[in-house]
Structure 1
Amino acid sequence: MGHSLETAGWTRRAGLAALTRALGAEDIRWVGGAVRDGLLGIEVHDVDCATRLLPETVIERCAQAGIRTVPTGIEHGTVAALVEGGPVEVTTLRHDVSTDGRRATIRFASDWREDAARRDFTINALYAHPETLEIADYFGGLDDLAARRVRFIGDPRARIAEDHLRILRYYRFQARFGAELDADAEKACADMAATLKGLSRERIANELLALLALADPHPTIARMHARGVLGVILPEACAKHVEGLARLVAAERAQGFAPEPLRRLAALLPPSRDVAETVAARLRLSKAQRARLVTAAERRDEDAAAMHALAYRAGTDCAIDRLLLAGADARPLAGWAPPVFPLKGGEIIAQGVTAGPQVAKILRAVERRWIAEGFPDDARLSQILAEEIG
């Protein structure tokens, strides 16, 4: 790995020291993504804390130390401590009593290893002492992290049966951190793919978009398609569309555009408004997400020469989506803001046109010519207006 937590900047946040003083160094451990990413030298934003203290004790001790808390997931033992540097989610050690693949009934625990055993992957079950930063590794997570291997804790099928979303989490983590494939994990995910049908659409959408937001999700998406996993959550995607994703990722890189998950989702779908509407509804996408996906789906052989007109009509981001999906050069649109059409109906009426439908008709005609001519200055706009009125 080449890094240690001593060099991780997040460990020196003043808010974490204050939280440690409030809760006691022996009763808390930093855990999960912050520890994993810190060891890999990746920038850390969110810090999670595991504790042997019950939630009410966490709230009480934080209050005594002047730290405000929010019971963000109190039914599962999670309290957000609002400290300097960003909130920290403090979760009481847990043990799963029963699970149904979607949710778990838990009881609180006091043993660090018992809490680690209920987590999904070995690289997510690393606990760091808040003062010494010594790592507690119960299931070989450090070796897996060094090998860039994403491995379930224990039997993959048992872990997936506890929470079916772990299938998609496995692929996302493998795409982000993995180099060496775990054969048992790969087979378990493929064999149990059908269980994804029982999950909420929102949870599936969140995981799928998070995967598509990674630097290069194509190899993982291709593996999901080949193993029948992608077809369960996105049956519209065929082999041709998966290869289209590869071309899009390459175009983004070549042209210097950041990954955009909705653009990449569009690449996995046929260029059909109806299909995009169906997928957006099924995944419970927001209104804004749906609009962007549908606009991307309306792509065709985009004319690069008319790209600014396209950006004016659809918005710059949507125009970039469509150009990249069509294999065109979108770089001239980077940072470009569409101008505001300066003509108002009152100016047409001032030229002697009677208020009514004719004003709107002239306004549309002038705007079409203004766009076609590349948004000329006010002098030319006045000429176009005079011609349309005449």
Structure 2
Amino acid sequence: MVRRSIRDWDESDVRIRPNRRGSRPRTKDRPRHEDAVPARVVSVDRGRWRTVLLEPDANVRAVTAMRARELGRSPIVPGDVVALVGDTSGRDGTLARIVRIQERTSFLRRSADDDDTSERPLVANVDTMAIVTALADPEPRGGMVDRCLVAATVAGIRPLLVLTKADLRAPEEFLRSYAPLGVEHVVTRRHDDGEIAGLAALRDILAGRTTVLVGHSGVGKSTLLNALVPGADRATGAVNDVTGRGRHTSSSALAMPLPQGGWVIDTPGVRSFGLGHVRAEELLDAFTDLAVLAEECPRGCSHLADAPDCALDAQVAQGAAGSAGPARLASYRRLAEALRRNDPWEA
């Protein structure tokens, strides 16, 4: 072997490694994936999506999938209808890819708190929000119900009040606050033998719908779900004797088909339902009972407690148009003040 002097080298002896980033022409055209199959997302777990195929001529089977790179960071939530490619056999160890998200009919979101404008997507393509509230143990919280009603209205979802534990307290007083809204409701109570009265009525309402269950921990969501979907086996928990609050039993949202048709999506019990993603001007529309009364206010009225010539106080005090009363007005104003702090034009 003849050793060459460095002076004998020239540019032809240097091997240039091609730039991988520029080695392939870039294009904005995305693959069509015409062979993709439709599926519904039923749960999400650490970057993997559990789906159920929706092909009418296919055997019902669950398929685990990952997000395709072209989707970026687009949120994919339970209830989403997606398109899958790759191995859709559902066998252990197989993984399909989600390449498209079908246009949603609704998209339910919340924030950690009212002053947090970052959105937390919950579920998609639901037409009913079942707001599950215990009449006692834990005590009912109208503020939570009001927040859920606002979120449902903004998302275009029909609300349903599901009142549990009527064996501990009668529902009439609580329902009186929401009577002016005409919100659909069902009341359940548990008998000594463990049977749940009102369950048949709830089944009839949910049949054929896609419903999300929302509520505080300990209000009985998992108990209802186990009764509605045989084999659901969602863990149930008790209420803390010291704090009066329920313990979290469900850690992730889960969509399940109902035996009578339709879907129900159970969500983890929440301590609060932040509305930081809601615009201040959308709020009054969600309080339909107050929106009617606000027509008597002067133009540009903020409807807050310090608003000059605001007509809401007098009209609510008089019970005008079947108004729900001071509690609803106070709830609206608490939310309105928080949302205006998020808006630099209103602050």
* TM-score normalized with structure 2 length: 0.23
Greater fraction of residues in helix: 1
Comparing both structures, which one devotes a greater share of its residues to strand? 2
